[in-house]
């Protein structure tokens, strides 16, 4: 539908949470999807996991309780952004199902769309990619508490979408997520 010239586009905001193991492809998909959506006139914010943790949860560690608190804080910020017409893309592991459900509920309470995308790359592929050398360091005994290696990851049972990046190019994965947004009226 065309808009009268000079009229700003008003888009429905929403949160797209990309959950999955380290090196699954969450950040890569979010970054490329952000570019794609921006080129279509959307206002988009990527809430990078490391940045958000440093800004919001610097005092927290990686216990189950602390991970849950971190996820809820990021979810709260995403919900606020989404409420104001921004598409919040959240490439954050979020290993525990109850905290993901809490974020979904928070969005529902505000009447804000929320989509959960499981970036379902198998751990063996993630460990091969090992973008931040975390799997190697865990295997060498230098770190512990790595999700998927020696810390739990509760797979989403009923995500809005599951992406199998091990069988796809980055472009294919991005288009798959973008198609979900289109189907739900978010792009």
d(CA 126, CA 24): 5
Q: Is 39 annotated as a binding residue?
A: no
User: Is the CB of 112 or the CB of 115 nearer to ligand ADP?
Assistant: 115
User: Is the CB of 21 or the CB of 112 nearer to ligand ADP?
Assistant: 21
CB of 27 to ligand ADP, least distance (A): 3
Q: Is 81 annotated as a binding residue?
A: no
- Nearest residue relative to ligand ADP (C-beta): 25
DSSP H helices, the chain, are 26-39, 49-56, 64-83, 97-110, 123-129, 134-139, 170-183
Residues in touch with ligand ADP (CB under 6 A):
20, 22-29, 91, 129, 131, 165, 168-170, 173
CB 26 within 8 A of CB 82: no
**What does the block give as tokens for 7?**
């009229």
User: Is the CB of 95 or the CB of 112 nearer to ligand ADP?
Assistant: 95
d(CA 159, CA 149): 22
Binding residues for ATP: 20-27
């Amino acid at each position: 539908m065309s808009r009268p010239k000079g009229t700003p586009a008003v888009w429905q905001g929403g949160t797209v949470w990309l959950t999955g193991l380290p090196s699954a492809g969450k950040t890569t998909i979010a970054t490329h999807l952000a570019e794609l959506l921006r080129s279509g006139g959307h206002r988009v914010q990527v809430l990078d996991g490391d940045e958000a943790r440093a800004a919001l949860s610097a005092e927290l560690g990686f216990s189950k309780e602390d991970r849950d608190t971190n996820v809820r804080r990021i979810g709260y910020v995403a919900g606020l952004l989404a409420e104001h017409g921004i598409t919040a893309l959240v490439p954050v592991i979020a290993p525990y199902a109850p905290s993901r459900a809490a974020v979904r509920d928070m969005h529902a309470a505000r009447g804000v769309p929320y989509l959960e995308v499981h970036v379902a790359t198998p751990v063996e592929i993630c460990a091969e990619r090992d973008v931040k050398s975390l799997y190697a360091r865990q295997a060498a005994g230098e770190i512990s508490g790595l999700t998927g290696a020696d810390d739990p990851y509760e797979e989403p049972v009923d995500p809005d979408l599951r992406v199998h990046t091990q069988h796809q190019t980055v472009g294919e994965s991005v288009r798959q997520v973008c198609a979900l947004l289109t189907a739900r009226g978010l792009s």
